[in-house]
Structure 1
Amino acid sequence: MRIARALTAAALLLGAAASPAVADASPSASPSGDSAAPTSAGTSFRTAAEIEQGQQATASASTGDYLYWQFPADAGQRPTVKATVKLPSSSRSGTQTWQLDVYDGLRRRQACQYGAQTRTAAQGAASVDLACTLRTVRAWSETWADDPLPGTYYVRLTAVGLGTADLGLPVNAEVRVDSKDIGGSAAVDGSLGQPLVPGIARKSSDSASDAPTLSSLKPDTSGWWSDRWLWTAIGGVLAALAGIGGYALTRGSGRPSRVPPGV
């Protein structure tokens, strides 16, 4: 009975301790809507249109153009970029292949965990949908790694498989970025001194030329606390409970199963 009470009390404590961490895994809130979503896209990294997470940006362009947007992402977030290209209903000579690429503040192409990053639209298709879910943004990283880091991210949308007769046909594009807050499971001890390509991520007046390079990415250990401490404590308690439960199951009644004759 004592062991059962101890297990019950420990389970209640675990539930109370894990509730903040579970709350961190909920999708991030959408912006308040104070700024209007852009209705045009840039044609290069330097002219990329700025969007906030939760906004749906639109743009009118010609087939063959490179369309660029930029958005901010913070540590612990897992951004998902979705794009829809509305194709002309007629005049297309064949299929079209569209591709969605995401780059970080150092203009390194980021891999997609999942999502249809490249899709081919049939000749009669009215639209094509693309998506890219990035890896979780880390607070800091080793200089040799290509992990996603806090700061500005660039979205590039373009047609990569296109017939010459289809160049210049009008298209309409829609782009939206949403993030899921991963929380303590992705926490690290340390952070960057400033985000990659500051300005859009922190709304500062610094120019993009002041962005840190790979050689300057060093951890900031001034803040020692992170959610990882909570998950480590939970793991320790679970290990202790497993030990108690195993002992309770294997110790038996304390008596030999058979009593020798004549005893």
Structure 2
Amino acid sequence: MRTVRILAAAALAVGGVLGAGGAAAADTPAPSTSASPGGKTAGPTEAGTAFRTATPVRPGQRATADASTGDYLYWVLPLDWGRRATVRAQVKLPASAGRHGASTWQLDVYDGLRRRQACTYGKQTAAAAKEAASVELSCTLRTVRPGAETWANDPLPGSYYVRLTVLDAAQEDLGLPVRAEIETTVSDTGGAFAVDGALAAPLVPGITAQRAEAKGSAKKQPAAAGEPEGGWSGGRWSDRWVWTAAGGVLGALAGVFGYSLTRGRGRPSRVPPGS
């Protein structure tokens, strides 16, 4: 009976830990978007031409821009730790009758330190034939980590810049009008990529100075361009801790149960008196 009571108490403890972990995971802020009446998520209709003028866009939004062949188009979006992002782009080309040859387009993604991030898979560079009506590109980034060594190039929480441009085109085709569209989808990988350390602040250029200036005044501290509505998680919570705690409880439970079995088998039998 004592062993049964211990088992029941341990099971309740495990259930409590998992329940708390589920609630905490539910409270983890995630980027949110607003849907347009047509069912698609509304997004910006222009793009910047440099890092400093990049147009903010949120994950799940479809951003569009009318530009000219040869322009550099920039957007910026927030990515928190534990997120794995896939950026997709489509360029609608002018009528083939007005073009003089094929073209090659490229999609690049940079972090808040303007370090070019590698794509784990996707078609980052694509060629369009002279007769093609459009060209599509994609890039799936590595999972964003809460912290990393200073020498590492791991993706970290903060702003991510998307750049779309033509790499090669006929000289006569430069300046022809094109229409670009990008959309970013984000999946949550949980605590599989969590580490013990975390950044003191996300990599968002310019926001540190702005907040320091607003700290001593009555002004509300500005939010970073494209910052998640619920704020940055900062890497303090991970469901890895839930399973670590649950594993510890189950390990203790197994030790108690094994001890009860070995103690019962090793106890000497009683000898009746007078025998």
Please report the TM-score for the alignment, with normalisation by the length of structure 1.
0.70
Counterpart for residue 252 of structure 1 = none
The corresponding residue for 1:226 is 238
State whether structure 2 residue 107 is matched by structure 1 residue 106: no
3-state SS of paired residue (2:191): helix
| Unaligned residue ranges in structure 2 (runs of 5+) | 1-6, 212-219, 226-233, 253-275
The corresponding residue for 2:65 is 59
**Which of these residues, 41, 45, 53, is aligned with residue 51 of structure 2?**
45
CA distance in 1, matches of 2:154, 2:66: 33
Query: What is the alpha-carbon distance in structure 2 between the residues aligned to residue 95 and residue 236 of structure 1?
Result: 61
Secondary structure of the equivalent of 1:230? helix
- Structure 1 contact 102–155 (Cα < 8 Å) conserved: yes
Contact 1:198 1:206 in 2 (8 A): no
The answer to whether the Cα contact below 8 Å between 1:184 and 1:231 also exists between their aligned partners in 2 is no
Q: 1:204 to 1:43 in 2, by over 3 A?
A: farther
Structure 2 counterparts to residues 235-254 of structure 1, below 5 A: none
Alpha-carbon deviation of 1:72?
Answer: 0.6
Cα distance change of structure 1 residues 204 and 175 upon mapping to structure 2, 3 Å threshold: farther
- Structure 1 residues 139 and 235 mapped into 2: Cα distance closer, same or farther (>3 Å)? same
Say whether 1:137 aligns with 2:182. Answer: no
Which of 7, 30, 33 lines up with 1:31 in the alignment? 33
Q: Of the two, which has the highest radius of gyration?
A: 2
CA-atom RMSD in angstroms: 4.1
Q: Superposed, which structure 2 residues align to 1:63-142 within 5 Å? A: 63-90=69-96, 91-142=98-149
The alignment partner of 1:107 has SS state of coil
Total equivalences in the alignment: 228
**Aligned to 2:222, which of 194, 200, 205?**
205
Deviation at 1:234? 6.4
Instruction: Judge conservation of contact 2:89–2:136 (CA < 8 Å) in 1.
Output: yes
Deviation track 1:162-204 (CA, whole Å, cap 9, x = no partner) reads 111211111000011121011111122232111111678x995
Normalized against structure 2, the TM-score is what? 0.67
Tell me, in whole angstroms, the C-alpha distance in 2 between the residues paired with 1:30 and 1:194: 21
**Sequence identity (%):** 62
SS of residue paired to 2:52: coil
Query: Is this contact kept in 2: 1:73–1:153, CA < 8 A?
Result: yes
Residue type at the aligned position of 2:194:
A
- Structure 1 residue matching 2:172: 3-state secondary structure: helix
Compute the displacement of 1:114 (Å).
Answer: 0.9
Q: CA deviation at 1:154?
A: 0.3
8 Å contact 1:189–1:226 — kept in the other structure? no
Could you tell me which runs of 5 or more consecutive residues in structure 1 were left unpaired when the two chains were aligned.
1-5, 209-219, 241-263
